[in-house]
Structure formats: structure tokens, C-alpha cells
């Protein structure tokens, strides 16, 4: 009967562990909720500051139309058939990408705040140079030989993702002349950007037309470059020390230091399906020119919510391990720990994660982790010493718990090896418990613990 009571208590403790998974789930939900609020802060700042940016172009477009005669057979009033020549006019445009495109960018980053949340923003100083080859114009005239071609005013367009990011109106250096840019890309399917009407181009022979312009482009979180050129060369320097390179091509060379990073991309039209993007632009979908790009994200090096979420997942290990140690002391020291006391220990372990989440939003993660761990460990050390009737045992259990918190912090910092280190930790804890209790006579221990001591009787006269 006494053994049944002990096993019933074990079942109750196991049920208690399952119940403690409910507040653990609430804490995980809290982390997700705080992350969503941070995302709302990003959106709030994006309403008053340019968002993620992509620079595409420049793109040279030359509208034209050509006429030619088509022979048609018609009937006159008398019903007789005769051939007439009808003039047909067709319109189209020729889009040219630079033969060589060079971009040099110097990015200056800073932080903007909404409440307790910080968002990285930047101002990028761009120097864009290159040249166009007019050989496709000569080839098109040869292809339409015999048809009368009428060329309209050529236009140079530069696309960006967010028009608000263009800080000041730049000027274009085109073949030795200075031409002002106008707002808007003036391309179908997209509006953000700028354009400039160009002088007529010499159509008698192929030539190289150099261009250059400086652009101050603002944005937040990420910067990308659509490499619309036969040959592209992009050099970037930024003062943000934690980039995450994105896109279909990684930088050819890069260097990341504590004060910033540099990156260098080189690509050709063979690297990207540029002709496919240009064909979509001819169909009125020029926004597709922004889709295929290379660039980087300004990431936060320590995502407190990601680390908090990963730490909460270890809550079950801490609870189970603490309960197992208490059960062993019940058996070895012949003590009795009430299920309510187990419950309080479990809640004290879970409060650590609440402290960690709330503190990490105001101070750095290491300090928040240290304060939360000290508070939780200190409270449990005092409580263990009281319920086990031994200050020494309380200090020993508190020291062990502090060691586990230290190991957990190391695991959280090792992002690439977190799973491996977590698995090793669980295996090591299980191995220590198994080896330490391998010679225990569990039947004898449970019988001794389950047997209640008889109350002493006082002799009365």
C-alpha cells in the first residue's frame, strides 16, 4: 500500500510536468507576439522612411515606328478586282542595357526607434558609371531594311523600389553633356525611379556612349542591385558590421570587420537572364527588372527573440532535471517534498524565461541573461535549502542549476552548433544520472521512503 502511494506521487509529478508545458507554451507564444510587435515597428518606421531598396539600370529605351506598303486586292464599284498598296505603321521600342556598368557605393547606417524597438536604416552614396554600345541600333536598321524607320526621343531610365529614397535630384553626365533627371522611371508597369530625355543618337555608325551620375539613396534593412548590363562591377563599403548577403550571386570577394564590411560583385549577362527581363518589360511589366538582384541585409547580430525562443525550448529539461534531483533526495535523505513544492519549483524555473524576455528588450542579452539566471538561481537555492532542511544541499543544487544556465548560454551563442551542443548536454546529463544511480536498490529505497515513521508515544501514568 505504501509503495502504491509513492508510485501515485510519481505519477502526480509526471502529470505536473505535463501541466507545466502549458505555461511554457504561453511563454513561447509571448515571444512570437513580441516579434510581431517588432515587425509592426518596422512597418511603422517604413511609413515615414524609405523601405528596402533595389537599384536597377540605367536602361536606354528608344521608341520608334516604321511604315511599309502592303499589297491588297479590293473590288471597285463595278465589282472589278484590282490591287492597291496600303501603308501599314507599326510601333515598338528598343531597350538597351549598358555594355559596361560600374557601381561604387558607400553606405552609412544608423538606427531608428519605435518604442523599445530599433530598426537599421541607411543612406547610400552611389557613383554609377558605364557606357552603351549603339551597335543594336545599326543591327535593327539592317533588319528593317526597306522599311522607313522613324526614331523618337531616346530616354534613359533608372528604377528604384521606393521613390522616397531618392534624397536629392541628381544630374546625368551623358556623352559629355549634363542633363537633369526627372522623377519617375517613365516605364510601363513601374513608376519609382527617375528618367531623362536624351539628345538624338548618331545612327550612321556604331559608337560608345559614356554616362555617369551620382545618387544619394536612402532605405532600411536591405540594399540590392539589379545587374542589368552585359558586364557589371559593383563595389560596396558599409559601416554595418553584420551583413547577410542575399541574391542569386554571392560577392566575389568580401571582408567583414567589427567596424563594417566591403563586398565586390562581378557579373555578365550570362549570369542573369537579362533578355527575359527585358522582354517582360516590352510587354509592360518593367517591375520585373527589380526582381533578380544581388545585395545584402542589415541584420541584428543578436536576435533576442530568437535566442529567447531557443532557450524556452530547454525549459522542460530544467524542470525534469530539477524534479528528478528532488525525487532522489526524497529517496536518499528520507525526506518528503509536497507536490505543491514541486509546482513552485517549476514556476520559479519558468519565471526565468519571462525575466529574460522582458529584460532583453531593454538591456543587452548577456546582461539580461545574467540577471534572470542570478534571480532564479538565488530564489531556488534558498528554497531548496529550506525544503531539504540543509543549506549545504541548497547551495549544491543552486550551484548545479547555475552551471546549467551557463552551459545553456554557451549553446545559445553557438548558432551553427546549437543542436549538436544541446544533444551532447542532454546525453551528458542522462549519462551522469544513470551512472550515479546504477547501484541503487530502487525497491529498497522506495519502500523506506514510502514507510511512514511511527509517531512516538508518550507514557502516561
3-class SS letters over 166-194: ECCCCEEEECCEEEECEECCCECCECCEE
pLDDT at 263: 92
Phi, psi of 291 (to 5 degrees): -75, -45
Q: Is 5 helix (H, G, I), strand (E, B) or coil?
A: helix
| Residue from 296, 171, 311 nearest 242 by CA | 296
Closest to 173 (Cα-Cα) out of 212, 140, 223, 202 = 212
Residues 312 and 32: beta-carbon distance below 8 Å: no
pLDDT value of residue 445: 53
Per-residue confidence (pLDDT) for residue 119, from 0 to 100: 78
Residues of the chain with pLDDT below 50 are: 450-461
What pLDDT sits at residue 211? 92
Work out the number of other CB atoms within 10 angstroms of the CB of residue 23.
Answer: 16
Q: Give whole-number Cα distances, 310 to 315, 373, 422, in Å.
A: 10, 16, 11
d(CA 443, CA 6): 11
- Say how far residue 176 (Cα) sits from the centre of its chain: 43
Q: Which residue has the cell 508515544?
A: 457
Cis previous bond, 58, omega within 30 = yes
DSSP string, 43-68: HHHHHHS--SEEEEEEEEEEEEEEEE
- Which pLDDT score is estimated for 459? 42
Q: What is the pLDDT of residue 415?
A: 59
Strand partners, 132: 209
3-state secondary structure of 217: strand
∠ CA 423-323-378, nearest 5°, is 90
Residue 102, pLDDT score: 93
d(CA 4, CA 282): 82
Strand, helix or coil for residue 74: strand
CA dihedral 401, 406, 409, 410 (to 10 degrees): -130
Predicted pLDDT of residue 457: 42
Q: How far apart are CA 224 and CA 52, in angstroms?
A: 8
**Exposure of 190 in the CB half-sphere (CA atoms within 13 A):** 27
Q: Which residues pair with 122 in a beta bridge?
A: 109, 219
Residue pair 159/192 in contact (Cβ under 8 Å)? The answer is yes
Alpha-carbon distance values, 365 to 41, 112, 301, 354 (Å)? 20, 20, 11, 13
Per-residue confidence (pLDDT) for residue 213, from 0 to 100: 92
Amino acid at each position: 500500500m505504501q509503495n502504491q502511494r509513492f508510485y501515485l506521487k510519481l505519477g502526480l509529478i509526471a502529470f505536473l510536468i505535463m501541466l507545466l508545458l502549458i505555461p511554457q507554451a504561453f511563454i513561447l507564444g509571448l515571444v512570437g507576439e513580441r516579434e510581431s510587435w517588432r515587425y509592426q515597428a518596422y512597418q511603422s518606421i517604413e511609413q515615414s522612411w524609405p523601405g528596402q531598396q533595389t537599384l536597377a539600370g540605367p536602361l536606354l529605351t528608344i521608341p520608334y515606328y516604321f511604315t511599309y506598303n502592303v499589297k491588297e486586292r479590293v473590288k471597285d464599284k463595278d465589282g472589278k478586282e484590282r490591287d492597291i498598296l496600303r501603308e501599314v505603321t507599326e510601333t515598338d521600342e528598343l531597350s538597351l542595357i549598358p555594355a559596361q556598368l560600374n557601381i561604387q557605393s558607400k553606405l552609412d547606417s544608423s538606427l531608428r526607434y519605435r518604442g523599445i524597438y530599433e530598426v537599421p536604416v541607411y543612406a547610400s552614396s552611389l557613383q554609377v558609371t558605364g557606357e552603351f554600345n549603339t551597335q543594336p541600333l545599326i543591327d535593327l536598321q539592317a533588319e528593317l531594311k526597306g522599311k522607313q524607320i522613324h526614331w523618337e526621343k531616346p530616354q534613359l531610365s533608372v528604377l528604384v523600389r521606393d521613390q522616397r529614397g531618392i534624397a536629392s535630384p541628381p544630374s546625368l553626365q551623358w556623352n559629355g553633356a549634363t542633363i537633369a533627371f526627372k522623377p519617375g522611371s517613365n516605364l510601363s508597369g513601374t513608376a519609382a525611379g527617375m528618367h531623362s530625355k536624351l539628345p538624338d543618337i548618331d545612327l550612321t555608325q556604331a559608337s560608345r556612349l559614356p554616362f555617369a551620375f551620382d545618387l544619394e539613396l536612402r532605405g532600411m534593412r536591405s540594399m540590392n542591385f539589379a545587374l542589368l548590363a552585359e558586364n557589371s562591377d559593383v563595389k560596396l563599403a558599409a559601416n554595418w558590421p553584420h551583413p547577410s548577403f542575399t541574391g542569386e550571386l554571392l560577392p566575389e570577394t568580401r571582408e567583414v570587420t567589427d567596424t563594417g564590411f566591403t563586398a565586390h560583385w562581378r557579373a555578365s549577362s550570362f549570369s542573369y537572364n537579362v533578355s527575359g527581363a527585358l522582354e517582360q518589360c516590352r510587354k509592360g511589366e518593367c517591375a520585373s527588372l527589380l526582381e533578380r538582384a544581388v545585395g545584402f541585409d542589415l541584420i541584428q547580430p543578436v536576435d533576442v527573440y530568437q535566442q529567447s525562443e531557443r532557450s524556452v525550448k530547454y525549459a522542460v529539461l530544467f524542470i525534469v532535471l530539477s524534479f528528478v534531483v528532488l525525487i532522489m533526495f526524497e529517496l536518499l535523505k528520507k525526506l518528503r517534498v509536497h507536490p505543491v513544492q514541486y509546482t513552485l519549483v517549476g514556476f520559479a524555473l519558468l519565471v526565468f524565461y519571462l525575466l529574460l524576455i522582458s529584460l532583453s528588450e531593454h538591456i543587452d542579452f548577456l546582461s539580461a541573461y545574467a540577471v534572470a539566471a542570478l534571480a532564479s538561481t538565488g530564489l531556488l537555492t534558498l528554497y531548496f535549502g529550506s525544503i531539504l532542511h540543509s543549506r549545504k544541499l541548497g547551495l549544491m543544487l543552486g550551484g548545479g542549476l547555475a552551471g546549467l544556465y551557463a552551459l545553456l548560454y554557451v549553446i545559445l551563442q553557438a548558432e551553427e552548433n546549437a543542436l549538436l551542443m544541446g544533444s551532447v548536454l542532454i546525453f551528458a546529463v542522462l549519462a551522469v544520472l544513470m551512472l550515479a544511480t546504477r547501484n541503487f536498490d530502487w525497491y529498497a529505497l522506495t519502500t523506506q521512503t514510502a514507510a511512514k515513521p511511527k509517531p512516538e508515544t508518550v507514557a502516561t501514568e
